[in-house]
Each structure stands twice: as structure tokens, then as C-alpha cells.
Amino acid sequence: MDRLKALVERVIPGKKEQQINNLDQAQLERQLRLAESPDPDIRERAANAMAKLPSDRAGETLAQLVKDREPDVRAAAADSIRAIAGKARVPVTPVMDALQLEPPDSPALYPLVGALRALGPGTAAERVVTEKMGWGMSRAKQAKIDQMIVLRETAAELTPHPVEVGPPFDAIFEQLTNEDPDIRADARNILAENRYVTRRLWSIYNELKEQEPRRAMLAGRVIGHRLNPRGLPKIKSDVTMHKLGVPIAFVKCACAYCGHENPNIPVPSPGLEVPFRGMRNRSGSAYTLPVLCDFCGNWFYVGFERDPRVPE
């Protein structure tokens, strides 16, 4: 019987694919029905399942689910929209309307931004969130302005003296994890523009990669910004060695939460040739690196399909 089925598949091209499509269609119909369930957990699972069923009907349903009364359902629908955006038609307007209404502390806020980035209007989505969160200098509160002034005053204290550079460096480095992306960016730019701190940054990165990987990553990304302020997708370690005297390679990766492309992520040099992606946890990858998103401030992981530290 199996031999007969195999013969039919060879004689009638596309027969196997059609069977798979029919199975997918049946699964889609089931998930569309479950998306109307009164149980929010069932609606959430249906929204998650549609990430693997790209079709225009799934896109239309997900565009409605981003307006669900439960934030977890909205988040799941937004994640699935991001997954199918390049494979199916998804109405953009309902998703943007949902983002406009989403509370700033909602778990669905950044998934909606990621969905809109995949659909196209990522810059507009970013503006909406910036206004919601009170970021940006046009409406900055006095406390934020004062904090940025203090950063600049502290930057003036950075000197080539190896002892005196310590306290101001530590104060500025601490702001790399500030909740406001403007302050994070200001601290990063101050350190990246100061030639006296490159060796200190390299020391933090090189010595803490295993003990404190998040702190090491912050230092490595500042070095990357000094070398690559335009955010090119990949920088080889020999370029970094030639220009800064430290051997680090850098890649760009999209945040797993909001889709923002984060440049200057330090990786092992062979990692430039290994497929990788942004992830919310470490599961499913041979090797991961923690990264603080420049935009949303969430820690996510860059996951590699194989460990780039291990020679093939």
C-alpha cells in the first residue's frame, strides 16, 4: 500500500502537497472556530496556532483578535501576525487602532509594535509608543532633562587617568539600563565617543562574558557603537581589531518583543556565518546571547542554530 501511494505521488505531481494543504485547511477552520470561544485561554491558543497557518482568513481573524478584551489574547494575536505578515494579507488599520488603545503597561503593547513593523508602519508604531510612554525630548519632564544634564556633566569628568576615570564611568555605565531609551542612548553615545574608556569597556566585556553576560553585553555593544554608529548588519573581528585594537565581531538582530533591529551585538567571530534569530527564552537554540533592546528595554536572546564557539 505504501509503495502504491509513493507511485501515485510520483505520477501525479503535487498530490502530496495537496493533501498537506487540505490538512492545514481543516486545522485552520478548527482554529477559526476556537477563536470565537468564550474561554480566553482557548482564544489565546487559537491565536498562537494561527502563526503556523498563514492565510488571508487567518490574517483577518487575527486582526480582530488584537482587539480582544484579554491582553494575553491580544499579545498572542500580535505575535502571530508578525509570524505570517510576509505570507498572508493582514489588515493594517485594525492593528494600528489596537495599538492606539493599548495601555502602556499591557503585555500586548510591544507585540503589537512588532506586528506593525512586520506589516510596514513600524515607524508610526514607534511614535505611538513613544508618546504613550512619555519618551522623546519634545515633551520631556524636568526630571528627565535634569538627568540628561547630569549625564553630560559626568561625561566632562572622564579623563585618561586610570583611577579618576572610574567613578564617572561607572555612573554613566549604570544608565545603559535606564527605563527611558533616550537616556540609555545618551549614556551609550557618551561612552562610545570617549576614547579613554574603550579599554575599560573591553575589560568588562572580556572578563565578564561568563560570570555576568548581561553586563558584558552592554559593554560590548558600546564598543560596537563606537566602531559602527550607522548600524551595519555585520562587522568582522579583524575590522574591530584594526580600528580599535580589540577582536570582536558584531551582528544586527531584531528584538523578539517589538521587532526593533538592534545593531552592534558582539558575537564569536564564526557566529557571523551561523543562522540566528531573536528569541524570548533560551529554549531551542544551541547557543544564546542576552541583549537589551534599544527601543523597548526588554531583554531578549540571540539564538544560534549551532554553537559558533565550537569548530566544525
The tens digit of pLDDT for each residue in 66-116 reads 999 999 999 999 999 999 998 999 999 999 999 999 999 999 999 999 999
161 shares its domain with 225 = yes
Least confident of 59-63, 164-168, 223-227: 164-168
The tens digit of pLDDT for each residue in 237-248 reads 888 888 888 788
Residue 7: pLDDT above 50? no
**Nearest alpha-carbon partner for 77 in 100, 97, 59, 53:** 59
Residue 15: pLDDT above 70? no
104 shares its domain with 253 = no
262 shares its domain with 296 = yes
* Cα 205 to Cα 219: distance, rounded to the nearest angstrom: 6
Which of 104, 133, 162 finishes a domain?
133
Q: Which domain holds residue 226?
A: 142-304
The tens digit of pLDDT for each residue in 284-296 reads 899 999 999 999 9
Domain contains 4:
no
Number of domains in the chain: 2
**Positive or negative torsion for Cα 70, 71, 76, 80:** positive
* Three cell numbers written together for 70: 484579554
Find the DSSP H helices in the chain: 2-11, 15-34, 40-49, 56-65, 71-84, 92-101, 109-119, 122-133, 142-155, 166-174, 181-193, 198-208, 213-227, 237-244
**Nearest alpha-carbon partner for 133 in 105, 112, 107:** 105
Of the CA atoms within 13 Å of residue 181, those in its CB half-sphere come to 18
Domain contains 3:
no
| Per-residue confidence (pLDDT) for residue 158, from 0 to 100 | 86
pTM equals 0.86
DSSP H or E run through 263: strand 261-267
* Cα 242 to Cα 248: distance, rounded to the nearest angstrom: 11
